[in-house]
Every structure is written in C-alpha cells, then in structure tokens.
Copies of this chain bind each other. A is one copy, B any other.
C-alpha cells in the first residue's frame, strides 16, 4: 500500500516535467477547453439557444475538429472545412432540385447514384499528389454532401438545413480562430524559423564532435556501428540532438504548409513570405547532414584506419572542420537574425583548407615522384 502514493507521485512528477518542458502545451490544452466551453454556452444558456436551436451542436464538432496546435494549421483546416462544406452544400441543393424533378420513384435513385459518384470522385482526387494536403477537405465534401442530401430527402427543405448547418459551422470556426489567434498564439512560421536555425547549429556541433572523435587516439575502441545503432551513443550528445535533423523533412514541410496560411505577424511582416524557401534550405541542410552521417558511420565501422594514418592529416582535417562549422553557425545566425552578412571570406577559407587537405593526400599518395605529380595537379587545376 505504501508504494501506491509513491508511484502516483512519480507519475504526476513526469506529467509536470512534460508540461514544464514546453509551457505551450498547457496553454494549448486550456485554449481547447475554453473554445469548446464557449460554443457549448450557446446551447447551455437560454438566450442564444432560443435563437440558434439545436443545429448549433455542429459548431462543437467544428471546434473539436478544427482546433490545431498552430494558428496556420487551424486556418488550413478551417479553409478545408469551410470550402468543403460550401461546395458540398451548393452541390447537394442542386442535385436535390434535379432529383425532385425526377418524381418520387426516380428521386432516391438519383440521390443514391450521386452519393456513389461523390464518394468515388472525392476519394480518387485526394490521392492526387498535388491535392494530398487538402485530403481533409475532400472528406468534408463527402460527409457534408451525404448528410445534407439524405436529411433533406427525409426531413425536407434541404436549403434550410444547409444554411442552418453553415451558420453553425461558421460560428464554430469563428470561435476557434478567435481563441487560437488572440490568446497566446503559436505561429507555425515562428516554429519553422526556430527549427531551421536549430538544425544549422546541431549540424555544426555534430560535425565537430565526429571529427574530434575520429582524431582522438582511442577512436579504434569505438563501439561497432550496427550493434549500438538502436541505442544511443551516450558520449555523443551533439549527435543525439542532430538525429532529428535527418528526419526533419515531414516536419518542415507541414510547418511551411501551415505557415502559408498565417497573416503577417511578429518579424514576418511581408504579406507573401517565402516559407517554401525554408523547406528548400532545410533540404540542402539535410544533404549536409547525410555527409556527417557518413563520417559517423566511419567512426563506428569495424575496420578502422590505424591511428598513425589518421594522425598524418590531423592539422588539415581540424582546420577544414572548424572553418566549415564556423560557416554553418554563421549562416544559422544570419537566418536567425534575418540579415545577410557577406561572409565570402569564410567560404574561401573552407575552400582553401579543403584544397590543402586534398593536396596533402595527393602528395602523400604520389610521394614516389612528388615533383611530377605536383606539376600534373597544378596543370589540371588551371585547365
């Protein structure tokens, strides 16, 4: 019995830590609670209930479905829902009018065929690569269309049904957007910006860490790659942080998609801010990360070059590494501060130090007839 409160304390402590780690999580949860409470009040309180009636329950559904973590994602989902509902509503009314003309026998047949068609066409369209981000919109079209046309058939007056439902959804959408935007808004753009800068820094850290380990005398004692792959490398803190950069593709893309829906805010004041450029920079950065992963693989492979050999080029390797890390950090800082400092010198430094390294390797490998090959190399370079 004495253990139970103890376990419970640990559990509560874990939750508290999780909340503290990013206070935005708590704010988000409270915001959702507030939003559903607000729309529920429209039914619970007598005055608005007499105005709106029971169709207002659709606004609860809208809040629960539309409320996303970032402002941009909420707008994106709201747009999908609004446009989908509108399109489905108009289409349902048109088909109902058509079906009514067919008489009482043809009416259910026409409605049935139209439901089958809508189901097939929307499902096919949402598989189209360009339309995948709007997948939710097609789902909304499908169920809204079915709901309106079917309840119209049984309860009559589909136009009234559609308009009521549309008002109701609109109220839900307005509450969601207002709560999400006005109370501690979390901007997808801001998150994207921070994420990219973080990726720059962890790339630089990880590069330096890898090279340092490679040149350390005990590098041949590194645990073998495959065996420890699933575990963490406890002595490589930078590498651990860096892992997320490798799979950042989906995260950056979804943040950029959301960010496009956000109005100008904070430091991002241009009306058409080039969010897709962030994704492109992220892709280039990920390609650099693959190179670092290549180095990391070398570090933990079973067959190692002897230490003496690694030591030969130590100066050149360290030089090239520190210059590269410096440039990466500088670029990250530039993006962070949103300013362009012309650091051509840094790039030239890297180029020079890598060329020095390459030439050291060339010389060493060809050292039986240094002079000849050096000449070869120079002529190659000039041509």
Q: How far is the CA of A111 from the CA of B150 in the complex (A)?
A: 32
Q: How far is the CA of A220 from the CA of B364 in the complex (A)?
A: 21
| Residue contact A123 to B32, C-beta cutoff 8 Å | yes
| Residue contact B294 to A150, C-beta cutoff 8 Å | no
| Residue contact A54 to B120, C-beta cutoff 8 Å | no
| Residue contact B40 to A150, C-beta cutoff 8 Å | yes
Q: How large is the interface on A (under 10, 10 to 19, 20 to 34, 35 or more residues)?
A: 35 or more
Main secondary structure of the interface of A (DSSP, over half): helix
Closest-by-CB residue of B relative to A304 is B358
Q: How far is the CA of A132 from the CA of B362 in the complex (A)?
A: 53
Binary B-proximity of A280-292 (CB < 8 A = 1, otherwise 0)? 1001100100110
Q: How far is the CA of A120 from the CA of B367 in the complex (A)?
A: 71
Given A229-B283, A294-B293, the answer on whether A124 and B26 have CB atoms closer than 8 Å is yes
Partner of A309, one of B35, B153, B365: B365
Binary B-proximity of A95-136 (CB < 8 A = 1, otherwise 0)? 000000000000010011001111111111001100000000
Q: How far is the CA of A240 from the CA of B60 in the complex (A)?
A: 46
Which residues of chain B are near A280, meaning CB under 8 Å? 230
Determine how close the nearest CB of chain B comes to the CB of A150; give it in whole angstroms: 5
Q: Is A184's CB within 8 Å of the partner chain B?
A: no
Partner of A121, one of B29, B146, B306, B354: B29
Copies in the complex: 2
| Residue contact A127 to B25, C-beta cutoff 8 Å | yes
| Residue contact A41 to B290, C-beta cutoff 8 Å | no
Q: How far is the CA of A249 from the CA of B243 in the complex (A)?
A: 12
Which residues of chain B are near A230, meaning CB under 8 Å? 280, 283
| Residue contact B294 to A30, C-beta cutoff 8 Å | no
State which of A43-51, A211-219, A331-339 sits at the interface with chain B: A43-51
Partner of A306, one of B41, B65, B362: B362
Q: Is A86's CB within 8 Å of the partner chain B?
A: no
Q: How far is the CA of A377 from the CA of B307 in the complex (A)?
A: 10
| Residue contact B226 to A305, C-beta cutoff 8 Å | no
Partner of A60, one of B40, B49, B147, B354: B147
Q: How far is the CA of A142 from the CA of B283 in the complex (A)?
A: 37
Q: Is A18's CB within 8 Å of the partner chain B?
A: yes
Q: Is A28's CB within 8 Å of the partner chain B?
A: yes
A303-340 residues with Cβ-Cβ distance < 8 A to B are 303, 305-306, 308-309, 312
Q: How far is the CA of A377 from the CA of B108 in the complex (A)?
A: 86
A226-240 residues with Cβ-Cβ distance < 8 A to B are 226, 229-230
Q: How far is the CA of A216 from the CA of B261 in the complex (A)?
A: 48
Q: How far is the CA of A155 from the CA of B49 in the complex (A)?
A: 12
Q: Is A174's CB within 8 Å of the partner chain B?
A: no
Q: How far is the CA of A59 from the CA of B35 in the complex (A)?
A: 26
Closest-by-CB residue of B relative to A141 is B64
Q: How far is the CA of A366 from the CA of B313 in the complex (A)?
A: 13
Determine how close the nearest CB of chain B comes to the CB of A132; give it in whole angstroms: 12
Closest-by-CB residue of B relative to A354 is B303
Which residues of chain B are near A290, meaning CB under 8 Å? 246, 290, 293-294, 297
What 7 additional pairs, Cβ within 8 angstroms, besides A287-B297, A309-B362?
A29-B127, A32-B120, A44-B150, A61-B143, A61-B147, A67-B123, A229-B283
Question: What 10 A-B pairs have minimum CB-CB distances, sorted nearest first?
Answer: A294-B294, A33-B120, A290-B293, A33-B119, A64-B143, A29-B124, A32-B123, A36-B119, A29-B123, A33-B116
16 contacts across the A-B interface (CB closer than 8 A): A19-B124, A29-B124, A32-B142, A34-B116, A36-B115, A36-B119, A40-B112, A40-B150, A43-B150, A60-B150, A64-B139, A287-B293, A306-B380, A308-B366, A365-B365, A367-B367
